[in-house]
Amino acid sequence: MSAAEEFARCCASQRWFVDEGWVEKQVAVDILQIFAEAAGYLDDLGQDEVQRRMGEAFAPIEDLPSDYASQLLMQWELADPRDRWRWTGEMPPVLQVTAIEKPQRRTSQATVDAFRYVASLGDADRLAGWLRNHPDDAASLLETVEAA
C-alpha cells in the first residue's frame, strides 16, 4: 500500500469520527495535519497532496435527488404486477379473492362432560336451560345424545 493510500485511510477513519459526532471536523483535520508531519507523510507526499487527501475525505456526501422517494416508489410499483397499472395506463388487475374457510368449531371436552352431568340429573327443565346457555354447542351435544 502506498503512502498516499495509507494516509487516505487515516483520513477516512477521522471522517467516521466526525460523522459519528465524536470529534469536530476542525479538530480531526488538525489531528491529521499533526499526524502527517509526525509520520512522514508530509515529506513523502508534500503539503498539497496531504491537503488534497484530507479534502477528499471530508468532502460533502452527494445528496440524493429531491424526488428520490417517488422514483423509488415508481420502480417498486413497476416491478410489481399488482401495481404496474398505476404507471403504465393498463387496467388494474382483477383481484383474485380466495374464500377463507371458517374453521369448524369443536366443543371442548369440559363442555361435553358438563352436558353429560346435567343430562344425568334427569331434570328436563334444567337441561333445556343449560342448552340455552350453550347455543354454539347445542347441536354437537345433541348429536352425541343421538349417537348414544
pLDDT tens digits for range 27-43: 999 999 999 999 998 88
102 inside domain: no
Same-domain check for residues 79 and 118: no
95 inside domain: no
Structural domain of residue 50, as residue ranges? 3-57
Q: Tell me, what's the pLDDT at 65?
A: 65
Same-domain check for residues 35 and 68: no
- Contact assessment for residue 25 and residue 18, using Cβ atoms and an 8 Å cutoff: yes
103 inside domain: no
26 inside domain: yes
Q: Amino acid identity of 115? A: F
99 inside domain: no
Nearest to 72 by CA among 61, 82, 80: 80
- Distance separating alpha carbons of residues 83 and 67, to the nearest angstrom: 19
104 inside domain: no
* 3-state DSSP percent of the chain in helix, strand and coil, to 5: 65, 0, 35
Same-domain check for residues 116 and 132: yes
C-alpha triplet 142, 145, 148: angle, nearest 5°: 150
98 inside domain: no
Cell of 49: 497532496
Q: Tell me, what's the pLDDT at 64?
A: 62
Task: Summarize pLDDT for 48-105 with one digit per residue, the tens.
Answer: 999 999 998 888 877 666 777 888 888 998 999 888 888 888 888 888 888 888 777 7
Same-domain check for residues 85 and 118: no
Mean per-residue pLDDT for 109-125?
88
How many structural domains compose the chain?
Answer: 3
82 inside domain: yes
pTM surpassing 0.75? no
Same-domain check for residues 37 and 72: no
